[in-house]
A and B are shown apart, each in its own frame.
Chain A
Amino acid sequence: MRETSPTRGAGISDQLLEGILRGSRPHLARAISLVEDGAGEAVRLLSHVYKRRRMASVVGVTGSPGVGKSTIVNGLVGEFRSLGRSVGVIAVDPTSPFSGGAILGDRVRLRTHTTDDMVYWRSLATRGHLGGLSRHTGDVIALMDAYGFDEIVVETVGAGQSEVDIMKYAETVVVVLAPNLGDDVQAIKAGILEIGDVFCLNKADLPGAERTRRDIEMMLNLREESGWRPPIVMTQAHTGEGLSELVNAVNSHREYLVSSGLLEQKARQSHLAILNEYLSLLTVEKVLESAQVDGSLERALKDLSSGNSDPLTCASELVKRHLT
């Protein structure tokens, strides 16, 4: 017998915490579910977990659907393992807006290290959260960190142009691109192209790769000067070509963050962003709850449908009434 699985019931959060610190996979797995499901016990568990963080390095991998993110993540796992580092992976896929269900298919690409004890892979659904991640991504990172992984890799949903939440959680963001996904106007728009610390031009054997590389190069030339110019790494993830260069680029970025003192600043920004998220969540909950009780929500809805008021006025009045 490898491990005893956690049982439900009283004291579950203590049981899970103890299991996680002992390095039990079933306990880590169950703890993640508890947090994702927003169970009451999760609050207590997380309050302990955050104090036990060991500060693993977090790498984000993002990019449009089909550019090869999952295959790149599989490759990164292999590279980190060959350096003797343990790896936790969080792979996010979208939830259906109609049924609330999801098909989490990133594992299909995980072809190596599938039974490696030093690798843990977890698929998460967005469950309606926008921004390219699951609402609980930060908490799941904390759980994996407390468990003791050296590296945590977060793969976002196939991102369009504005799924930029990953920059709140990852120290280094790898933006994966493939050749011929749009002209050079795409490259100067705002959004995910702005958040890349490292660019990975995958499927580099396809025609058009060189042109796409030049487009990214041009875009980077127009960026404001800073101490870090994002490198462009050409990869062919399915053959492994370029993967060690990719890991080198990630490591160089990390060294830069440390030596420039930006790591601390980044952590502060990320804490602010996460705090922000929880503040909005809690205040919205509180306002809606008490507005429902005293009928002011109903009155606001009536005013809106009769055209007697506007959304901003209604919202300001509700906040004034219920948050003081």
Chain B
Amino acid sequence: MARKIRVLVGKPGLDGHDRGAKVIARAYRDAGMEVIYSGLHRTPEELARMAVDEDVDVVALSILSGAHSTLLPKVVQCLLREKGQSSLDVLVLAGGIIPEEDIPALKAAGVDEVFGPGTSTQEIVEYTKTHLKREVA
């Protein structure tokens, strides 16, 4: 029997818009995954702690505040520290309002993929299923 895929849908920082995060959470649920929703206004430290305690395979971050270049690398660093790993065994995804030109730096900082407005939930779920870093079987 394949094990359950667990996902943390996280809202880092100060923006209060979580419609997108909830839509993604639901899409993951409908794909048979267990989704932990962080709630609004979380710090990178809090999100990393949640990811470790909940033993998730995926951290999906939704950010619309414009602070992605500051907050997302911090989440990755906190995850590395909390997990004591030099390369993460969790997939780190980001979505929201993130300009094209900021994406290379985010990827260099350890974000695995960035999804912009208009991406279908199906595409995100497919990407997630095929890029997990831990075995599922």
Contact = CB atoms under 8 A, between A and B. Distances in A.
Are A and B interaction partners? yes
Interface of A: 1-5, 8, 25-26, 29-30, 32-33, 36-39, 95-96, 98-105, 107-110, 114-115, 120-123, 125, 127
27 contacts: A1-B84, A2-B81, A3-B82, A25-B53, A29-B52, A29-B54, A29-B55, A32-B55, A33-B3, A37-B3, A37-B4, A39-B3, A99-B29, A99-B31, A101-B28, A101-B29, A101-B31, A101-B34, A102-B35, A103-B29, A104-B34, A107-B36, A107-B38, A107-B50, A122-B53, A123-B34, A125-B4
Contacts of A110: 39
B39 A3 contact: no
A121 B30 CA distance: 24
Contacts of A30: 55
B100 to A, nearest CB: 31
Contacts of A37: 1, 3-4
A90 B36 CA distance: 13
Contacts of A33: 3, 6, 55
Contacts of B71: none
A25 B33 CA distance: 23
A101 B37 CA distance: 13
Interface string B39-55: 10011011001101111
Contacts of A4: 84-85
A297 B28 CA distance: 36
A104 B35 contact: yes
Contacts of A36: 4
B37 A103 contact: yes
A5 B57 CA distance: 13
A109 B39 contact: yes
Contacts of B45: 115
Given A2-B84, A4-B84, A108-B37, 15 more contacts: A3-B82, A3-B84, A4-B85, A8-B134, A25-B52, A26-B52, A26-B84, A99-B31, A101-B30, A101-B31, A103-B37, A104-B36, A108-B39, A123-B34, A123-B36
Given A36-B4, A107-B37, A115 B54 contact: no
Contacts of B50: 107, 114, 121
B135 interface: yes
A43 B84 CA distance: 27
A102 B46 contact: no
Interface residues of B, number: 36
Contacts, number: 100
Interface of B: 1, 3-4, 6, 25-26, 28-39, 42-43, 45-46, 49-50, 52-55, 81-85, 89, 134-135
A110 B36 CA distance: 12
Most chain B beta carbons < 10 A, residue from A100, A103, A114, A120: A103
Contacts of A1: 81, 84
Contacts of B37: 103-105, 107-108
Contacts of B35: 101-104
Contacts of A5: 83-85, 89
Contacts of A3: 82-84
Contact of B135 (A8, A99, A122): A8
A115 B31 CA distance: 30
A25 B58 CA distance: 18
A114 B52 contact: no
A101 B50 CA distance: 19
Contact of B32 (A2, A8, A99, A105): A99
Contacts of A114: 42, 46, 49-50
A135 to B, nearest CB: 13
Contacts of B32: 99-101
B52 A103 contact: no
A21 B50 CA distance: 21
Contacts of B33: 101
Nearest to A98: B30
Given A33-B3, A108-B39, A96 B29 contact: yes
Contacts of B81: 1-2
